[in-house]
Amino acid sequence: MLLTPHGGVLVRQYLEPEQVAEYQEQLPDFKKCILDEIEFSDLTLIANGAFSPLKGFNNQADYEGILKESRLASGWVWPLPIVLSVSPEKQAEQGYRCGDPIALVTPDGQFQGMMELEEIYRRDREREAIAIFGTADRKHPGVDYLFSKGEIALGGTIKAKPVQITQFPEYELTPLQTRAEFARWGWQSVVAFQTRNPIHRAHEYLQKVALESVDGLFIHPLVGFTKPGDIPAAVRMRCYQALLAGYYPAGRVLLAVFPAAMRYAGPKEAVFHALVRKNYGCSHFIVGRDHAGVGNYYGTYDAQNIFEQFSAAEIGITVLKYENTFYCKRCGNMASAKTCPHSGGDLLYLSGTKVREMLSDGLPLPAEFTRPEIAAILMEFYQSQPLPV
């Protein structure tokens, strides 16, 4: 039997078709809130149950609990605030009041859902930055986004129009759909792998080590908002498809997309990613080095150590913690410090920065780092980019 969703019940906050038609007809009469790309993806993932037990954007009690203890007011572990906020000017313009039904729309005015406005409170962005990201440095992409948002938070339950928001509709599966797929294949245990990068040999090694002891592997790349410089989702999907076609056993791997935004919150985001994959039906979750990190803001294994703050029962999903892996020339295979006695020039590591430099310069990537099919796709992409001015 697959794991119970976080909070005990898989949330479904969808409007019925007749409700969608009714609200769209009445749209001019409602106060509105315009969602940016990240808020739109949050709305979608609240509605489809990926963010269970959330049923809407955080109220103040949940917001405070997340900042202080990484918990909702109910006591359930939840490490990242999911907040809808506006500027004081927008609040004055719209005149939001508690009890108002608020139409949630895209920047071009397309209706996406409704929120019953339950609370209006102040978002303490400085305190939130320190609590969630461990820094208030605006060079951190998550912090920079946070300070771009208004300080007036709107909390309340949502209902959303059922939509697909990515360019990969055949891979955009809801938690209800992935659970059905796992059951159809007879998987009782499923290990999830989160990524925002192409899968290289070290990732492949971790996945296959985990796959030795579970029924199935769920490769679930994040395809929502990422920072400039990250490889586009369409390129990454080509890499995943090529890899699965040539190097993984049929019937033991499911590829689907996770339409969430990256927060780059390191340890806190690692816990968040684990809880969300529990909602998708997974029993295990891989956490490697510097999960969801950026720059030098987090220690190499901070994203693993944070799980010690919670009991296994509170998290629910089994976290698989792996050492940094590499290719050892003397061993002739992928390994880690736990399995390989060698050091120095025998070990091949390539940083993301070094890989980008090599590709931009037209230099081939070593086969020990990535499969040749993946290297070819990445080379094609990098060589197509305009030269820096």
Tell me how far apart the alpha carbons of residues 3 and 278 are, in angstroms, rounded to a whole number.
7
Per-residue burial over 340-351, b if 16 or more Cβ lie within 10 Å, else e, is beeeeeebeebe
Pick the CATH number of 17-160 from 3.40.50.1100, 3.10.400.10, 3.50.50.100, 3.40.718.10: 3.10.400.10
Contacts of 21 (CB under 8 A, 6+ apart): none
Nearest Cα residue to 256 out of 157, 181, 344 = 181
Q: 293-314, pLDDT tens digit by residue?
A: 999 999 999 999 999 999 999 9
Percentages of the chain per state (helix, strand, coil), in multiples of 5: 40, 20, 45
Label the pairing between strands 318-321 and 253-255.
Answer: unpaired
Give the angle 241-247-248 at the CA atoms, nearest 5°.
80
What amino acid positions are annotated as catalytic residues? 196-197
Residue 121, number of CB atoms within 10 A of its CB = 18
Please tell me whether the peptide bond between 221 and the residue prior to it is cis, using omega within 30 degrees of 0.
Answer: no
Q: Quick one: fold of 169-258+264-384? A: Rossmann fold (3.40.50)
Tell me how far apart the alpha carbons of residues 250 and 97 are, in angstroms, rounded to a whole number.
54
- 300 to 55, 296, 314: CA distances (angstroms): 34, 9, 24
* Structure-derived torsion over alpha carbons of residues 191, 262, 59, 150, reported in degrees to the nearest 10: 180
- Given a cut of 60, whether residue 33 has pLDDT beyond it is yes
* Rounded mean pLDDT, 124-137: 98
Q: 132-179, pLDDT tens digit by residue?
A: 999 999 999 999 999 999 999 999 999 999 999 999 999 999 999 999
* Rounded mean pLDDT, 30-52: 98
- Given a cut of 80, whether residue 386 has pLDDT beyond it is no
Task: Say how many CA atoms lie within 13 Å of 45 toward its Cβ.
Answer: 25
Q: Which 8-state DSSP code applies to residue 6?
A: T
With a pLDDT cut of 70, the percent of the chain lying above it is: 98
Q: 169-190, pLDDT tens digit by residue?
A: 999 999 999 999 999 999 999 9
Tell me how far apart the alpha carbons of residues 37 and 106 are, in angstroms, rounded to a whole number.
8
What is the structure's pLDDT at 143?
98
pLDDT band at 389; cut points 50, 70, 90 = very low
pLDDT band at 356; cut points 50, 70, 90 = confident
Tell me how far apart the alpha carbons of residues 229 and 352 are, in angstroms, rounded to a whole number.
11
Tell me how far apart the alpha carbons of residues 188 and 354 are, in angstroms, rounded to a whole number.
40
The pair of structure tokens assigned to 117 is 């406005």
What is the structure's pLDDT at 352?
66
More confident residue, 326 or 357: 326
The residues pairing with 103 across neighbouring beta strands, listed in sequence order, are: 32, 114
Contacts of 118 (CB under 8 A, 6+ apart): 56, 59, 98, 99, 155, 156, 157
pTM equals: 0.95
Domain regions of the chain by residue span = 17-160, 169-258+264-384
Sheet order of strands, 216-221 included? 253-255, 216-221, 190-195, 284-287, 318-321
What is the three-class DSSP state of 126? helix
* Rounded mean pLDDT, 281-290: 95
What is the structure's pLDDT at 387?
59
Contacts of 347 (CB under 8 A, 6+ apart): 326, 327, 328, 329, 340
